[in-house]
Structure 1
Amino acid sequence: MTARLRCLIYVACLLVGIPHFAWAERVALLIGNSAYSVPDMELRNPVNDVEALGSALRALSFTVIEIKDANSPKMQTALQDFQRAATGAEMAVFFYAGHGVQIGGENYLVGVDFSGGELGAMRRTSLSMSDVRDTMTVAAPAIGIVILDACRNNPFTSNGLVRPGLVRDSGGAGLLIAYATDPGNVAYDGLGENSVYTAALLKHLATPALDARLMLGRVRQEVVLETGGRQIPWVEEAVLGEHSFNPSAPDRLVADAQVDELSRWRRISGSLDVAAFEDYLQDYPDGLFEQFAQDRIIALKSSARLARAEEPEVLIASANTQKLTSALNVLGLVGDGNLSRGLSIYQRRLPDPTTLSEDQLYADAARMSIFLASTTLQQLRTDLVALRGIERTLKISEDALAQMEEIAKTNADATPLVQQARRDINEILRAQGIVLRRLDQTRTYYDEILEESSAFFPDDATLALLGGTDRSRDLGAVGQKLNENASIFLRHLAQTEEETKGSYKWLADLISQG
């Protein structure tokens, strides 16, 4: 589409009131391989996954290319067609369901013509992830999304021909890669019409005005819950801005104070503006982070009355900048990116400002991480329990509605019951939406605390940190659950490593706690 034609269409959209997103190019290539030449490799669901996802994306105004049971040449041709269609697109989606393997640090999506035997044949009959990445790079959509439901169990991992699962691949700028499971593990093909991962994707894909990253966060959460932590999806992305599969206006959202509070706290937690915390306390006087807000106000006001100290410059010159920044971020003292100012504020909070040191800073930041994470973790666990309860109730109600609808076909007296059952289900869905939005906030914030803390947290840190010098903090909502949640947080930190960032491995550990 030429720039002139884009402009004419845009003006026409303004004149008739059509949203801008209605004409933006949105394209998808979906490949599902089920009928492999090797009988032991046959899969039930990939073709079903492509058909269901294709229908869902077309309903969202995507131009969809569907390829089923494809050999390597057919996949290559489809990828070339996709590149042309995706050039300059607003959103380009590549989806693959079937067998995927890693060979020599590269991921391969296996064509149905693979007949087994040796690695050379596997490479020749597969589509490489390098080809997919290169296609996205050349096409240069506003956002490129690669979704791989490609780690199904297969005979050539069990016989040692290749390593299980796919290797981590970060892609490039503007690219998001979503994997159905974490490195080296197997994605479940599912007992129903679709795989566990694709079923979750279909459930959340069309949520109005939900950013793609949050949507995939819900998918990951769903899969972890559904599999009891045996399958952990993960995401690699380098994407700017917000991009939604369904950019239409959201349904009228039911107000929820906890959703609003969590969103507000995440926005202001790194601020150096006293007014931001005062406004928070005015709106949420008994909020989840009430005591933390009080602490920030005291620290910021006291530092404003003192002259700037010079000592922090010495520490900054010798310290690891990333560690220093992360520690000050957790303490809420580097909101404007000024390390010197943040350290000066921290120094003035010390009983003896002359004792400023990296070790003390990291210990205090670690203590704050534990308190913040434990507070958030308690809310997260509560919301997960609520979500599972709501979804059980929804399943029972939907089954009951189906039975009532059957009865109503031959008995008009059942019609009012059907109408009431539908209203009840709508109420359940509204409650589910509230909890899901709340989980978007708690899940994301907890993950941010984990990632930030992993940069500076002392290797030998234990719960003894909770008995440090700062004893004035009222634990508030954490209460008697503090030690239990702090122990879980420390375990999650111990599990955090570069290879698992972007996954929800910690969520699986949380679920195992009940």
Structure 2
Amino acid sequence: MGFRNLQTFLFFLLLMLLGLSAPLSAAEGKRLALVVGNSAYTATTPLANAAADARAFAAFLKENGFEVDSLINVDRAGFARGLSTFSKKIGPADTALFYFAGHGMQLKGENFLLGLDAELLSEFDVGAEAIALNSITGIMERKASLSLLFVDACRNNPIADRLNASVEGVTRGAALKGLAPVSSTGSGTMIAFSASPGQVAYDGVGDNSPFTTALVEHLSSPSLEVGTAFKRVIRDVRIKTNNFQSPQIVSNIAAEFYFNASAPATAVAASDFLAQIDFEKAERIATARGWQLYLAKHQSGSVSDSARAALRLLEGGGGGLVSPQEAESRMKLTQSQRKEIQLTLSDLGYDIGAADGNLGQKTRRAISRYQKALGLTETGYVNSIVANRLELVGVTRTDSAVSADEARLFDPEDLKGLETDERTIRAAQCLRGQRNHLRRVWGPPLCSSLRSPLVLADRQICCPAV
């Protein structure tokens, strides 16, 4: 085997011999938490799930070694007393965590969390009836080694219309201003919000909000670092809310932190170990092709469903807003293209019936079988993924590993082991360190050394090494 493969094998063997020892937490002191859940508001819309969310998150924390103080349905005075008690417990080596589920607001760029009795008849009432989020952050940063804050709040400004603009029982806020953006000046601080500035945070229709449900699911994963776990939280919440809510994280944590630092009780199979490595690569690449390549390599496994969900989200199907039939209809396939699909599937061994350009029952079954082989949802309808894989002429390609909506950096090492086109890997190496829009252009070659050249910031470039 090659040197790099030998390194991977020896690394895996070492982990097996060591019993996959658990990674160390960022801090070695106590794990302390204050959890607040307010549902029974008297001057604004009550929240069905906030108190239940707090109880669920408190139970999760206790299972993972936290000493938890819980405040359920408290007014502003009770909130303040709980914060005072909590702050006195924190020592310089401790990890301190604060969680809030309930109504929140911003005023003049500052964020506030509301007790049950908040009325806020004018802006002059805010200081006396609400708790400033930055005061909580400041106390934790001064006293703890590591500070973690999770805010599942409504993110609207109650003064705008007396807290009554939201759709009752549906959201934790109205589509008004949301919470203000935050930044952290202290080291070792992470602040996680259930929604981005200006977005509504949904209370949820089940037992818990989408945000808290995703937190408990992913933060509890064995030996999963909090930053990686939160990426999966963001993806889940986007899917469950049809992309209307996207959590946000602000972090300057230098060390790694694990909620569940225990390794699996049994030895991990080599395939699962390598699948996890590839999954994290695909997360960093964050393109449709990256997830397609992952699923082609790992069609089953503990995180394959998460990979399929990520792919659906990037393809615009995460929330089910567009039916498979509608997605195919929007492609406006010509009869010639439909016939090409049939012929290509037939060449691959699928029974499509007659190649007449009409996607009948047999062709639909063949498309479903092909989707299954790719690890995709079996719909029987053509989408951009299927068209890309079949290299359908005349359909814009969106499957480049280096295709992205925003300028970004790609690490060539992340492409290795997933990307099957060596030219793409060499191009990424050529462009290493250049933060630009990278898109593969499909069609007639523009560079003599490339069948499919790359464009950099809308300009054609040629990498001699490609």
TM range (shorter): 0.5 to 0.7
Give the residue type in structure 1 aligned to 2:262.
S
Counterpart CA distance in 1 for 2:177 and 2:295 is 32
SS in 2 for 1:41: coil
Counterpart CA distance in 2 for 1:373 and 1:23 is 37
Q: Which residue of 1 aligns with 2:34?
A: 29
Shift of 1:385: 6.4
**Would you say 1:472 and 2:394 are equivalent positions?**
no
Superposed CA deviations along residues 439-487 of structure 1, whole A, max 9, x for unmatched, are xxxxxx99998544898537xx987698775453466xxxxxx99xx9x
Counterpart CA distance in 1 for 2:451 and 2:441 is 17
Aligned partner of 1:189 among 203, 206, 218: 203
Answer yes or no: is the 8 Å Cα contact 1:101–1:166 preserved in 2.
Answer: yes
1:466–1:93 distance in 2 versus 1, CA, 3 Å: farther
Aligned partner of 2:177 among 155, 164, 176: 164
Q: Which residue of 1 aligns with 2:290?
A: 376
Unaligned stretches of 5+ in structure 1? Answer: 1-16, 268-287, 289-371, 391-430, 432-444, 476-481, 491-514
Counterpart CA distance in 2 for 1:139 and 1:210 is 26
1:100–1:472 distance in 2 versus 1, CA, 3 Å: same
Counterpart CA distance in 2 for 1:447 and 1:91 is 37
Count of residues paired in the alignment: 306
Aligned partner of 1:253 among 261, 265, 268: 268
Q: Which residues of 2 match residues 1-12 of structure 1 at below 5 A?
A: none
Shift of 1:77: 2.2
Aligned partner of 1:114 among 114, 118, 123: 118
Q: Which residue of 1 aligns with 2:80?
A: 76
Q: Which residue of 2 aligns with 1:133?
A: 137
Counterpart CA distance in 1 for 2:445 and 2:128 is 61
Greater share of residues in helix: 1
Aligned partner of 2:193 among 150, 171, 179: 179
Aligned partner of 1:457 among 397, 419, 436: 436
Aligned partner of 1:225 among 239, 253, 258: 239
Aligned partner of 2:46 among 42, 49, 59: 42
SS in 2 for 1:81: helix
Q: Which residue of 2 aligns with 1:105?
A: 109
Superposed CA deviations along residues 99-138 of structure 1, whole A, max 9, x for unmatched, are 1111001000111111242122133211111211211221
1:117–1:178 distance in 2 versus 1, CA, 3 Å: same
1:473–1:82 distance in 2 versus 1, CA, 3 Å: farther
Shift of 1:82: 2.0
Q: Which residue of 1 aligns with 2:383?
A: none
Counterpart CA distance in 1 for 2:52 and 2:95 is 23
Answer yes or no: is the 8 Å Cα contact 2:122–2:159 preserved in 1.
Answer: no
Shift of 1:208: 1.2
SS in 2 for 1:53: helix
Q: Which residue of 2 aligns with 1:302?
A: none
1:110–1:24 distance in 2 versus 1, CA, 3 Å: same
Aligned partner of 2:212 among 184, 198, 219: 198
SS in 2 for 1:96: strand
Shift of 1:253: 3.4
**Would you say 1:145 and 2:124 are equivalent positions?**
no
Superposed CA deviations along residues 414-459 of structure 1, whole A, max 9, x for unmatched, are xxxxxxxxxxxxxxxxx9xxxxxxxxxxxxx99998544898537x
**Would you say 1:56 and 2:69 are equivalent positions?**
no
Answer yes or no: is the 8 Å Cα contact 1:145–1:175 preserved in 2.
Answer: yes
Superposed CA deviations along residues 289-320 of structure 1, whole A, max 9, x for unmatched, are xxxxxxxxxxxxxxxxxxxxxxxxxxxxxxxx
Q: Which residue of 1 aligns with 2:99?
A: 95
Counterpart CA distance in 2 for 1:109 and 1:125 is 9
Q: Which residue of 1 aligns with 2:250?
A: 236
What is the root-mean-square deviation in Å for CA atoms of aligned residues? Answer: 4.4
1:117–1:472 distance in 2 versus 1, CA, 3 Å: same
SS in 1 for 2:113: strand
Give the residue type in structure 2 aligned to 1:376.
G
Answer yes or no: is the 8 Å Cα contact 2:22–2:263 preserved in 1.
Answer: no
1:175–1:467 distance in 2 versus 1, CA, 3 Å: farther
Q: Which residues of 2 match residues 277-316 of structure 1 at below 5 A?
A: none
Counterpart CA distance in 1 for 2:40 and 2:283 is 48
Shift of 1:96: 0.6
Answer yes or no: is the 8 Å Cα contact 1:152–1:188 preserved in 2.
Answer: no
SS in 1 for 2:92: coil
Counterpart CA distance in 2 for 1:378 and 1:171 is 36
Superposed CA deviations along residues 355-402 of structure 1, whole A, max 9, x for unmatched, are xxxxxxxxxxxxxxxxx9574364479865634899xxxxxxxxxxxx
Give the residue type in structure 2 aligned to 1:131.
S
Counterpart CA distance in 2 for 1:266 and 1:377 is 8
Counterpart CA distance in 2 for 1:471 and 1:259 is 38
Shift of 1:244: 0.4
Counterpart CA distance in 2 for 1:244 and 1:211 is 5
Shift of 1:36: 1.5
Q: Which residues of 2 match residues 418-497 of structure 1 at below 5 A?
A: 450-452=407-409, 456-457=435-436, 470=447, 472-473=449-450
Give the residue type in structure 2 aligned to 1:245.
F
What is the TM-score with the length of structure 1 in the denominator? 0.51
Give the residue type in structure 2 aligned to 1:65.
D
Q: Which residue of 1 aligns with 2:348?
A: none
Superposed CA deviations along residues 181-213 of structure 1, whole A, max 9, x for unmatched, are 011111000112211111111212211111011
Give the residue type in structure 2 aligned to 1:134.
G
Answer yes or no: is the 8 Å Cα contact 1:377–1:446 preserved in 2.
Answer: no
Counterpart CA distance in 1 for 2:243 and 2:86 is 35
Q: Which residue of 2 aligns with 1:386?
A: 308
1:265–1:147 distance in 2 versus 1, CA, 3 Å: closer
Superposed CA deviations along residues 483-512 of structure 1, whole A, max 9, x for unmatched, are 9xx9xx99xxxxxxxxxxxxxxxxxxxxxx
SS in 2 for 1:35: coil
What is the TM-score with the length of structure 2 in the denominator? 0.56
SS in 1 for 2:89: helix
1:265–1:117 distance in 2 versus 1, CA, 3 Å: closer
1:463–1:151 distance in 2 versus 1, CA, 3 Å: same
Give the residue type in structure 1 aligned to 2:249.
V
